[in-house]
Chains A and B, each alone.
Chain A
């Protein structure tokens, strides 16, 4: 871009910047004005460059608070699932107590903690909420996904109507995207099943040929699918319309012990929950390693065998801190 300009700011060719700005170079009187604009843009660009590059490395989690109890003072027991909505709804899978807990979290104020017990659900290990406020939970014992109304009443099972052979599927995890489509990590048939909001089959993407074990999946804001291979410590991705997965990262073993959960934020960054290492590994949209946050321990702000993590649009992070029998809330600082 710069080679179009000489040292005096005179136009010696059609600049990409003017093309981008939609301006035609005025060779008679506007040349110095355009030159000045370009200079300003360049200076701003140069000034912003280090800030931008620094920002990529300074994503961190700031501890806000921990949640230990339901509204009646009953303690959580090894919670593994967690989901949040943009409306401030926070659902916790209180796995050890075979129940869900429903909180509202707005302006850093946590309310309620109402117990939801559904006869059809035990051992909730993964949770999601769709845009209608419906709650989805993966039952770790029966390995089935159940669908509930926003008030927690049972609607039905997500059985994947119209799934191509083999019809058997074993969900290890699942995610719901912005369009309410349901993405299921089917480890039995080594594929990701994509169902419409009603649970009818839309398409499937097969796992790559070489992999260790996929423990979780995520869908980013662009509809790209991400898988975490907990054995190889690698993330695989498939773009929205792709029919296969390819590695997004090399082995992250140097930064990651054993990751069993991943999630993405609205900026496209990926967060890997390191279960055995008690930490969160952050990746850029292109899979670049950006850093590791938190560490193992019992004190507030530390994690002990964490399970699922959820992020909302405000950058509020909720982590099911299983080993510490609590949920921890953090803020994402960029």
Chain B
């Protein structure tokens, strides 16, 4: 291609003009004297001189462009920031979150970049506040403790969380994973190696989910299996539940829903089905797996999670109600400035997610899947009301409002809370009592 000398000259003039005007733009924004930039600021903020000796310095700081972030005269935001503290970083780092992310780190979503980064300088790469996993475990304390205690460690975790996770966001997978879980695993663990094939009983596990059995953060079981392993998995008898690996439908279970589990857990199943009321999810398509892991789990009894989140998954209304009550409790406590308030607003076992303190998870002969034949017995397991004087209750004491009902704890209280003290459905005790004792109604 033949380039005209005249054209080349014009092009170089335009480019030079753009470079000069860009450099001047910043200075001219505040009409700073030449070379005034950072030097001028440091003449007052001399404690920053030490900071700038750190190994890693944020680029605008390094080039003395303090006014990239701060307004030297006045600002509507703290620290004379030119923009809201949660938005200012995205002015330059706008591509930190991909366009269609599958997961975003909460602090990034909140724009709380300073939770991890020093905006000026630090001795850690990427101006991080702390190096390596130490920074992550500041927030993810439980994870840090579990990793520290794990008997069998996963090497990439030791190297750093960023081996597998993108600290900002991921457009490929959940949990900030840099890639789809299996793809990530097989980038190190080659599935065609004989030992890998043998360990997985010839099953093409690359089509499955590694986290169904393995705890990628380390565990106390060899092979970093979760701490609680289903016996057939521990015994490596996958065919007890699944079609053989040679089958065209390899991972298909031999039977559906509860029918599969019944093969081994027949005693428990027979007991369940002998009751008047079954917890319906047990007999749906997913069956036992609504609550239990089929292979291995961190939780006892191979539960999918803690009972609060497990029960709350299907009973969100109950859990939301508990959150509201806890909030009300907190507000009322704050309003009384530490003075004790009589009567509970929340019921401890429900707040703690101990649903099984009153309910049976599989089946019961009682309504609401209660663990005892009557509310009096259920409540009595924790409340020793029966040891002292109470309002008449029991099978022989009819409720004056309705002859088909006998007096029990639920005649006056609602165990899940009502928004009123003592878990009663009225603002005060008198309002409750006069429902039956009408002669005292004013």
Chain A residues with a Cβ under 8 A of chain B? 68-69, 75-78, 96, 122-123, 140-141, 143, 166, 168, 170, 172, 187-190, 212-213, 215, 231, 233, 253, 257-258, 276-277, 296-299, 305, 322, 324-326
Q: A68-B404, A140-B277, A325-B402 are in contact. Are A257 and B317 (CB under 8 A)?
A: yes
A78 to B405, CA, bound (A): 9
* Chain A residues, CB < 8 A from B278: 140, 143
Chain B, interface size category, equals 20 to 34
Q: Are A76 and B276 in contact, with the CB atoms below 8 A?
A: no
Q: Are A170 and B284 in contact, with the CB atoms below 8 A?
A: yes
Residue of B nearest to A257 (CB): B317
Sample of 8 more A-B contacts, CB < 8 Å, known A187-B280, A213-B280, A213-B284: A68-B402, A143-B278, A166-B256, A168-B259, A172-B284, A188-B257, A298-B405, A298-B435
Taking the closest CB of chain A, its distance from the CB of B364, in whole angstroms, is: 11
**Interface assignment of B301: CB less than 8 Å from any CB of chain A:** no
Give residues 126-184 of B contacting A (CB, 8 Å).
none
* Chain B residues, CB < 8 A from A326: 402, 404
Chain B residues with a Cβ under 8 A of chain A? 256-257, 259, 275-278, 280-281, 283-285, 313-318, 367-368, 399, 401-405, 425, 435
Q: Are A188 and B283 in contact, with the CB atoms below 8 A?
A: yes
Taking the closest CB of chain B, its distance from the CB of A123, in whole angstroms, is: 5
A166 to B259, CA, bound (A): 12
Q: Are A78 and B367 in contact, with the CB atoms below 8 A?
A: yes
7 contacts between A and B (CB under 8 A): A68-B403, A96-B367, A187-B280, A188-B285, A258-B318, A297-B425, A326-B404
A270 to B404, CA, bound (A): 30
A118 to B405, CA, bound (A): 25
Neighbour of A276 across the interface among B256, B277, B313, B317, CB < 8 A: B317
Q: Are B280 and A258 in contact, with the CB atoms below 8 A?
A: no
Q: Are A213 and B314 in contact, with the CB atoms below 8 A?
A: yes
Q: A212-B314, A213-B284, A258-B315 are in contact. Are A325 and B259 (CB under 8 A)?
A: no
Neighbour of A231 across the interface among B285, B314, B399, CB < 8 A: B314
Taking the closest CB of chain B, its distance from the CB of A148, in whole angstroms, is: 20
A14 to B257, CA, bound (A): 63
Q: Are B275 and A213 in contact, with the CB atoms below 8 A?
A: no
A75 to B399, CA, bound (A): 13
Q: Are B259 and A298 in contact, with the CB atoms below 8 A?
A: no
Q: A77-B404, A297-B425, A299-B401 are in contact. Are A122 and B280 (CB under 8 A)?
A: no
* Chain B residues, CB < 8 A from A231: 313-314, 316
Q: A166-B256, A187-B283, A298-B435 are in contact. Are A325 and B404 (CB under 8 A)?
A: yes
A8 to B257, CA, bound (A): 72
Q: A231-B316, A258-B315, A276-B317 are in contact. Are A140 and B401 (CB under 8 A)?
A: no
Residue of B nearest to A260 (CB): B280
> Which of A172, A187, A296 lies at the interface centre, i.e. has the most chain B CB atoms within 10 A of its CB?
A187
Q: Are A123 and B276 in contact, with the CB atoms below 8 A?
A: yes
> Which of B256, B285, B401, B403 lies at the interface centre, i.e. has the most chain A CB atoms within 10 A of its CB?
B285
* Chain B residues, CB < 8 A from A187: 280, 283-285
Neighbour of B256 across the interface among A68, A188, A212, A322, CB < 8 A: A188
* Chain A residues, CB < 8 A from B404: 68-69, 75-77, 324-326
A69 to B278, CA, bound (A): 27
* Chain A residues, CB < 8 A from B318: 258, 276
A253 to B318, CA, bound (A): 12
Taking the closest CB of chain A, its distance from the CB of B324, in whole angstroms, is: 12
Neighbour of B280 across the interface among A77, A96, A215, CB < 8 A: A215
Q: Are A141 and B275 in contact, with the CB atoms below 8 A?
A: yes
A188 to B283, CA, bound (A): 6
Taking the closest CB of chain A, its distance from the CB of B36, in whole angstroms, is: 58
Q: A76-B404, A231-B314, A297-B425 are in contact. Are A141 and B276 (CB under 8 A)?
A: yes
Q: Are B317 and A258 in contact, with the CB atoms below 8 A?
A: yes
Residue of A nearest to B313 (CB): A231
Residue of B nearest to A78 (CB): B367
Q: A140-B277, A213-B314, A253-B317 are in contact. Are A190 and B285 (CB under 8 A)?
A: yes
* Chain B residues, CB < 8 A from A143: 278, 283
* Chain B residues, CB < 8 A from A76: 404
A25 to B333, CA, bound (A): 77
A76 to B405, CA, bound (A): 9
* Chain B residues, CB < 8 A from A141: 275-277
Q: Are A298 and B277 in contact, with the CB atoms below 8 A?
A: no
A122 to B365, CA, bound (A): 12
A96 to B367, CA, bound (A): 9
Taking the closest CB of chain A, its distance from the CB of B374, in whole angstroms, is: 12
